[in-house]
Every structure is written in C-alpha cells, then in structure tokens.
Amino acid sequence: MRKLLFIIIYLSFISPAFADGNKAIENALHEYIKGKDARIGVAVIINGKDTVSVNGNRDFPMMSVFKFPLALTVAHWINTNGMSLNDTVT
C-alpha cells in the first residue's frame, strides 16, 4: 500500500513536466495492480483538473459510509443502556 501511495505521489509531481504524464501515472497504476488477487480502483486528480482513473467504471462498496451510521447506532445503544465507551466487552 505504501508503495502504491508513493507511486501516485511521485508521478503526480513529475507529470506536469511531461506531456504524457497522465498516461505514465495510469500505466504505473495498472502495472502495480496487475496480478494482484484484489479488486482495486484508484482515481488521481492532478492540479484539480486532470483525472487518471484505473477501474473507475467498477462499483466498489463505500465502507466508510456504512461504518458511520453503525458507529452512531452502537453509541446510541451504549448511551441508552447505561454503559460507557470505556466498558470492557467480553
């Protein structure tokens, strides 16, 4: 994961210097995810206008969108049942 992040950051800084910068980023991302046993989607927005997308047409679950309402529900349950977030659950 760190390697992928490094590639994205590195290529986003050098891309303005090259006419094919966006294609270079896209190729690097494709090369990184090739052969991985994972469903990976990445989008990079460069300078607020150019976008590079790998698997951007696929649907991915929005896990943080699910986690927040669940966390609120758990917090509400803890509050209404006289428990504390510091209580140990076994």
Report the domain count for the chain: 1
Q: Give CA–CA dist 35/85, Å, rounded.
A: 42
Domain contains 9: yes
Q: Give CA–CA dist 25/32, Å, rounded.
A: 11
Helices 21-33 + 2-14 axis angle, to 10:
170
Domain contains 20: yes
Domain contains 73: no
Domain contains 31: yes
> To which residue do tokens 């094919």 refer?
20
Domain contains 83: no
Which residues constitute the domain of residue 40? Answer: 2-54
Domain contains 85: no
Query: What pLDDT sits at residue 81?
Result: 92
Query: What pLDDT sits at residue 11?
Result: 62
pLDDT < 70 regions, the chain: 1, 8, 10-21
Query: What pLDDT sits at residue 18?
Result: 47
